[in-house]
């Protein structure tokens, strides 16, 4: 391949086709792309994507540099400094999440004093450091009469790579109950619920895409069952980006030690890690790009990077065509 390696190569057409396929399943439910999955794709989002979610000043700066309008941005993230909140308001981002009572107080004060407004969604914690407790959520609802901000709704995310649809159903049942409680207790209508379902994507299963879309269909059914379709928006990262790129690295050395044949590449685990691979024991999709030395002959290899640590093992053991120095290895997604 005529590229400098190691390298990532991303397929924009594939990214667009994944978005279209997801939208064909979720229909008119708004779709958000979480930029942390792969910032490269932020410059290529289509009109099918309602928002980009950013979780750090760096991600926000990426959006600024590629001229993504504030109306397309949900500014999330557990830590937001006062300066970052100011900038987001001044740039008229569409939605800002509240991750703590302190963020709420500062957002109220600055919005009121400067007549700058944004839709605000309160992140409800799923039992970790992200978001606020129910107690703080209800405290904010009680105080939010003349605060200077408009509470638009809620944000909820309870984890990633969920393989059991029951976990997602538990989320939706809980969110439906919270919605009803807020409407009954505070006579407040939630307009928007940003939900990250964390659907699983198995990098090592050839049927992964098919299984993922089956789960997506089940998710849409459950959203209707729990009466949330009128307010919910779905946030995805890995699901949209997973299959849209490849990684290339070159074989620089081949040696055998204690019966193990090692490949030393110019890449490494600082550039390539598969979620769920566990100590490089599972074999991802691998292809040799160029001609191999002995067609039809295979050997077992341990593929390593060039870092100065014994942990720099990309694949512990895999069977590949007999390799020579200079071969290019493609890792699929």
Q: What is the pLDDT of residues 164-198, one digit of tens each?
A: 899 999 999 999 999 999 999 999 999 999 999 99
Amino acid 1: pLDDT: 58
Give mean pLDDT, residues 96-115. 89
Element (H, E) at 172: helix 165-186
Amino acid 293: pLDDT: 65
Give mean pLDDT, residues 141-163. 85
Whether 247 and 267 have beta carbons less than 8 Å apart is answered as yes
Amino acid 4: pLDDT: 81
Strand partners, 150: 119
Give mean pLDDT, residues 324-331. 95
Amino acid 264: pLDDT: 98
Q: What is the pLDDT of residues 2-17, one digit of tens each?
A: 678 899 999 999 999 9
Give mean pLDDT, residues 122-135. 95
DSSP 28: T
Higher pLDDT, 246 or 88: 246
Give mean pLDDT, residues 123-143. 94
Q: What is the pLDDT of residues 282-320, one digit of tens each?
A: 999 999 998 766 667 899 999 999 999 999 999 999 999
Q: What is the pLDDT of residues 225-277, one digit of tens each?
A: 999 999 999 999 999 998 999 999 999 999 999 999 999 999 999 999 888 88
Can you say whether residue 131 is alpha, beta or left, with left for phi > 0 and alpha for psi between -120 and 50 degrees? Answer: left
Amino acid 18: pLDDT: 95
Whether 85 and 103 have beta carbons less than 8 Å apart is answered as yes
Beta strands in the chain (DSSP E): 7-10, 31-34, 51-54, 73-75, 95-98, 119-123, 150-157, 192-196, 232-236, 245-257, 260-265, 286-288, 298-304, 313-321, 328-331
Q: What is the pLDDT of residues 35-62, one digit of tens each?
A: 999 999 999 998 999 999 999 999 999 9
Give mean pLDDT, residues 75-85. 90
């Amino acid at each position: 391949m005529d590229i400098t390696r190691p390298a990532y190569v991303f397929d924009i057409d594939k990214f667009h086709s994944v978005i279209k396929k997801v939208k064909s399943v979720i229909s008119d439910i708004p779709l958000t792309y979480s930029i942390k999955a792969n910032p490269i794709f932020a410059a290529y989002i289509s009109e099918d994507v309602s928002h980009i979610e950013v979780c750090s000043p760096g991600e926000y700066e990426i959006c600024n540099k590629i001229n993504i309008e504030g109306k397309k941005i949900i500014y999330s993230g557990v830590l937001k400094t006062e300066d970052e909140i100011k900038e987001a308001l001044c740039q008229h981002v569409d939605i800002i999440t509240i991750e703590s009572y302190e963020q709420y107080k500062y957002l109220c004060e600055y919005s009121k004093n400067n007549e700058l407004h944004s839709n605000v969604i309160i992140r409800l914690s799923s039992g970790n450091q992200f978001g606020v407790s129910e107690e703080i959520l209800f405290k904010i609802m009680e105080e939010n009469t003349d605060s200077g901000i408009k509470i638009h709704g809620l944000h909820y995310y309870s984890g990633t790579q969920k393989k059991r649809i029951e976990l997602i159903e538990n989320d939706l049942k809980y969110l439906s109950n919270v919605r009803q409680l807020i409407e009954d207790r505070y006579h407040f209508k939630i307009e928007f619920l940003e939900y990250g379902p964390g659907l699983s994507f198995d990098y090592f299963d050839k049927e992964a895409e098919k299984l993922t879309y089956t789960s997506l269909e089940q998710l849409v059914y459950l959203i209707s069952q729990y009466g949330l379709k009128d307010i919910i928006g779905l946030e995805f990262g890995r699901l949209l980006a997973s299959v849209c790129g490849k990684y290339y690295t070159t074989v620089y050395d081949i040696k055998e030690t204690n019966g193990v044949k090692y490949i030393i590449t110019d890449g490494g685990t600082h550039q390539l890690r598969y979620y769920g691979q566990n100590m490089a024991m599972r074999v991802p999709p691998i292809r040799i790009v160029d001609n191999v030395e002995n067609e039809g002959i295979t050997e077992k290899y341990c593929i390593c990077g060039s870092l100065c640590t014994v942990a720099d093992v990309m694949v512990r053991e895999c069977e590949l065509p007999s390799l020579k120095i200079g071969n290019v290895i493609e890792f699929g997604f």
